[in-house]
Amino acid sequence: MKITSHAFRMRSLLPTAVAVVMSPLLTSCGGGGGGEGGGENARTGIRLVQGAIDVAPLDLYDSGQLAATVRQAKFAAPSLYGGLAEGGHTVIATRANRPADRFTSQQVTVAEGDRFTLLTFGNTEGIGLRSRILKDAVPELGGQSGVRIVHGLSGAESIVASSPAIGASQSVSFGGDSGYKLVTPGPTRISFTRAVDGKNIGSVTLDALPDEAYSIFLLGEIDYFSAIRVAGDTD
Amino acid sequence: MASFVRISFILVLFLAAFRVQAQDAEVPASLLFDRDGDSIVKVGCFGDSITFGVGDGIPVGVDVEDITSSSGGGYPTRLSALLGVPVINSGIPGEELVASGQFRFPKLGGVDVVLIFEGVNDAIKQVTTGAYSRGLQRMVNIAAARGMEPVVVLIPPPCCNHGSLAPFTDAYAGSANDLASVNEIRVCDVARAWRTTCTNSDCELYNVPEGLHPNKLGYDVIAQTCAASILGIDIFTADGAAALESALGLPAGTVVVKPEVAQ
């Protein structure tokens, strides 16, 4: 990542360096972009949602594999799904770029088309760090949209989600999820409060598409920094 | 003629591809772009008295036991002049990162890049490195979650009357450097700039013998080091200073940060 004076010189020479252009271009084509997964979701696999506010970004490894399945899952930034083969797996979350610095491990058994979310939440001091595997088992939507609420917001034993679209208010306990609710496609506004005292947490407006499912994650720490994030579960 | 045009077109494509590859491979992009969509690129400097600018305006060589007056605006004012963008000074003298800075930080907004420079007051309270690192990670997480690019400033070791704090600030700087590596964010390595640029152990970049707050020259060093970091220039290479001067259109010799000399 460090810049070098060589790099500066190279840039300044570019307009006159026509003769040497061919070789790097071929290298570039051969590389095919390289990098970190190419920005596509795996149809069968796992994603990482890092919701603990004092924890560094995490990498996720499939036991026995050298390359990370998910890289640099930052706080409040749901990753894409990394691919897992069918069968039993031990998935291991580590500090990013520190594969020996293990955060948690979980067992999953994967069938064709299965998707999972590894949620990390809590905090280092106080309630402690926690993790949970969710199976992202989207029901038959039949032209409707699916919405699931996942509660990883420290400082609230349970939260209440309210929206005309989901009918009655829905309570979700800490570390849990609501399961998928079918809603009419279109803009859906959902508000969140802390169950014990009605404290406002925030709201989100989701423009739900037909036959698509979404997870809404509540992350961070109430009274300090709360984050509400929406991630697609079917793309 | 047609074939000449076709060949020229292909060469232009080659050049474009090469340029993209060269930038991706070797030249980190400048962090200065509009992330929050307000059409203004703005930098925030979050910290304590050193960010506030205490001790600025005092030239090298003046004997300073206690700082009673400051002028010049510290490194944020210089950074704004160097980079040509608005820079917000969010420094509060005496603030500790663990006890208060991390709780003030979520209120900071409206900036695209934020430099986090706190810890000397934690050192006075002998805060553990673990607590410092957790607090710093919280701030980095919040910055990223709010769409700001965090840059961690590595604290230089105090000297002289405050030299006893150095083991703590050195530990904080090491932990912050590791945290930046894990988070894949940049550091503004002021600790290294002090090491390369100070000419004696009673570092002349500080007000001496006070030894905690930089003087006029010290604030120049901080601003130049952080400007280079934001632009993606390694100021510690043999021609790093010249590269920064070239990038900013400064006269040769303006940058006072010294390169790292190979042992």
CA distance to partner chain B, nearest, from residue A216 (Å): 15
Q: How is residue A185 annotated by DSSP?
A: S
The reply to whether B8 touches chain A by the CB within 8 Å rule is no
* Identity of the residue in A22, A27, A57 whose CB atom sits nearest the CB atom of B183: A57
CA distance to partner chain B, nearest, from residue A125 (Å): 9
A 10 A CB-CB count for B1 gives: 5
Q: Tens of pLDDT along B135-178?
A: 999 999 999 999 999 999 999 999 999 999 999 999 999 999 99
Separation of alpha carbons B15 and B243, rounded Å: 23
- Which residues of chain B from 93 to 132 reach within 8 Å of chain A, CB to CB? 103, 106
Per-residue pLDDT, B27? 52
* Identity of the residue in A3, A77, A97 whose CB atom sits nearest the CB atom of B28: A3
Q: What is the DSSP string of chain B?
A: -HHHHHHHHHHHHHHHHHHHHHHHHH-PPPS-S-SSSSS---EEEEESHHHHTTTTTPPTT-EESS-----S-HHHHHHHHHHTS-EEEEE-TT--IIIIIHHHGGG--S-SEEEEE--HHHHHTT--HHHHHHHHHHHHHHHHHTT-EEEEEPPPPP-GGGGGGHHHHHHHHHHHHHHHHHHT-EEE-HHHHHHHH--SSS-TTB-EET-SSB-HHHHHHHHHHHHHHHHT--TTSTTHHHHHHHHHTPPTT---PPPPPP-
Q: Tens of pLDDT along B11-28?
A: 333 333 333 344 444 556
Name residue, tokens 């690019």: B149
With an 8 Å Cβ cutoff, are B138 and A77 in contact?
no
With an 8 Å Cβ cutoff, are B234 and A4 in contact?
yes
The reply to whether B21 touches chain A by the CB within 8 Å rule is yes
Separation of alpha carbons B129 and B171, rounded Å: 6
Name residue, tokens 């600018």: B53
With an 8 Å Cβ cutoff, are A57 and B233 in contact?
no
Region of poorest pLDDT, from A38-52, A118-132, B3-17? B3-17
Q: Tens of pLDDT along B27-73?
A: 568 999 999 999 999 999 999 999 999 999 999 999 999 998 889 99
With an 8 Å Cβ cutoff, are B234 and A22 in contact?
no
Across the beta sheet with A181-183, the strand order is A181-183, A145-154, A213-221, A225-232
pLDDT of residue B84 exceeding 50, the answer is yes
pTM of the model as a whole = 0.86
Q: Which of B182, B225, B244, B245 to probe the A interface (max A CBs under 10 A)? A: B182
pLDDT band at residue A33 under the 50/70/90 scheme: very low
